[in-house]
Amino acid sequence: MRHILTPLDFSVSELDKIFDLAADIEANPKKYANACRGKKLATLFYEPSTRTRLSTETAMLNLGGSTMGFSDATSSSVSKGESVADTIRTISCFADIAAIRHPKEGAAMVAKQASGIPVINCGDGGHQHPTQTLTDMLTIRSLTGRLNNMTIGLCGDLKFGRTVHSLISAMSRYDGIRFAFISPDELKIPDYVVEKLEENDIPYEEFVRLDDVIGRLDILYMTRVQRERFFNEEDYIRLKDFYILTPRIMRRAKNDMYVLHPLPRVNEISVEVDKDPRAAYFRQVQYGVYVRMALILTLLDIHVNDDGSVTEEA
């Protein structure tokens, strides 16, 4: 049985297959409309979410399956003190696949160990968020036609941003990738991430000012300051508006640079940037549905034939 806790749970060639499948789903959605008929997805969300939960549920619904779950731990037996392990063991009796989001790093790993069904990590604390990364990668691949030879700038909360940590580890496996880390000192990329890059001779530079580097980027990945992971409110207030991407700053960027953001956006991208053809963050949301459909099929080992019939591995 397969799970996805980090994007590294899949090899580069397996990820390529998922992206090819997602592209086919985008081109031929009807072919996939009954692929998961009779299958159930459970979403166990112990932390707030709009896109990730609804996108994962939409993915299952688009495949003809159904969904159940909780979006607020206080409405489940978690509020009575039930452990993640016992919850997933129970859910394994009801559903065919589970998607979990939890504020603690490692929660998805605990779930996987106790689970009788494939587990999708939808974010564990500040650690990893693999389905957002697959979304980001499909977006980059669809818009630029490649996943190699590019400079990716990540800007904002690089310390607590799990989408940042996931994307760096996944993109590090492709040739010719250079990273630019743009953050205030207090929100710098963690040492363990940088050490991995150094071990693998992957070039990176660190900046405080976005202006200093935006002209060299192929992708600009903006992120929200992760208020819920701060220890005190004063630090959050001081740092929250450190970056605001505006049309003035966009003027310095290449014509073929794309702006991505996992969303939700707070203040870090001015709404005037939304009209810029390089603003790709809402297209990114749509790619997230295709890639999660492809991921669900892959984890359930369901192969969809050209006529829409299904071959399910035993």
Applying CB under 6 A, among 112, 129, 159, 292 the residue interacting with ligand NCD is 129
Q: Taking CB under 6 A as the rule, does residue 284 contact ligand NCD?
A: no
> 264 preceded by cis ω (within 30°)?
yes
Nearer to ligand NCD, 153 or 262 (CB): 262
Nearest to 95 by CA among 110, 71, 117: 117
**Nearest 5°: CA angle at 268, between 209 and 150?**
60
Question: Footprint of ligand NCD on residues 227-256 (CB under 6 A)?
Answer: none
Nearer to ligand NCD, 52 or 67 (CB): 52
Q: CB of residue 314 vs ligand NCD: minimum separation in angstroms?
A: 34
- DSSP-derived pairing of the beta strands 204-207 and 40-45: unpaired
Give the C-alpha separation, 269 to 163, whole Å: 17
**Which secondary structure element, helix H or strand E, spans residue 44, and what is its range?**
strand 40-45
Q: Taking CB under 6 A as the rule, does residue 224 contact ligand NCD?
A: yes
Q: CB of residue 85 vs ligand NCD: minimum separation in angstroms?
A: 23
Amino acid letter, 264: P
Give the C-alpha separation, 162 to 179, whole Å: 16
Applying CB under 6 A, among 92, 115, 132, 139 the residue interacting with ligand NCD is 132
Applying CB under 6 A, among 163, 169, 183, 284 the residue interacting with ligand NCD is 163
Q: Taking CB under 6 A as the rule, does residue 159 contact ligand NCD?
A: no
Q: CB of residue 74 vs ligand NCD: minimum separation in angstroms?
A: 19
Q: Taking CB under 6 A as the rule, does residue 121 contact ligand NCD?
A: no
Q: CB of residue 188 vs ligand NCD: minimum separation in angstroms?
A: 17
Q: Taking CB under 6 A as the rule, does residue 51 contact ligand NCD?
A: yes
Q: State how far the alpha carbon of 278 is from the alpha carbons of 138, 253, 254, in Å.
A: 16, 10, 9
Cα-flanking dihedrals φ and ψ of residue 238, to 5°?
-65, -30
Q: Taking CB under 6 A as the rule, does residue 92 contact ligand NCD?
A: no
Question: Footprint of ligand NCD on residues 252-271 (CB under 6 A)?
Answer: 262-264
Applying CB under 6 A, among 123, 125, 130, 153 the residue interacting with ligand NCD is 123
Alpha helices in 92-181, H assignment, sequence order: 107-114, 130-144, 162-171
Contact at 8 Å (CB) between 240 and 225?
yes
Residues that bind ligand NCD (CB under 6 A): 51-52, 123, 129, 132, 162-163, 224, 262-264
